[in-house]
Amino acid sequence: MRNRIKELRARENLTQLDLAKIVNVRRETIVFLEKGKYNPSLKLAYDISRQFKLQIEEVFIFENKEDST
């Protein structure tokens, strides 16, 4: 799963720590999310999407293995 968190953070001039505090997680969680090494819970995906006033699908891009050829 890919995501646009880093891009969206930059648009709003938020640091990883700023976003982490807003959605009540550790900064490291945001780091791992941005690197694609962590899939968020539904609640976290919702909270992050809500912060950016977007739908979850606009922040997190779900890819099928079949589509990645």
Segment 18-38, tens digit of pLDDT: 999 999 999 999 999 999 999
Residue 61 banded pLDDT, cuts 50, 70, 90: very high
Classify residue 50: in a domain, yes or no. Answer: yes
pLDDT at residue 65 in the model: 65
Tell me, yes or no, whether 17 lies in a domain: yes
> Would residue 68 count as lying in a domain?
no
According to the model, what pLDDT value does residue 12 have?
Answer: 97
| Owning domain of residue 32 | 2-62
- Largest Cα span, the chain: 38
Domain assignment of residue 32, yes or no: yes
Extract the tokens encoding 29: 């969680």
Task: Find the CATH number of the domain harbouring 22.
Answer: 1.10.260.40
**How does DSSP assign 36-53, residue by residue?**
T--PPPHHHHHHHHHHTT
Q: Is residue 55 part of a domain?
A: yes
Tokens of residue 4, six digits: 């646009």
* 69: in domain: no
pTM: 0.88
The domain tally of the chain equals 1
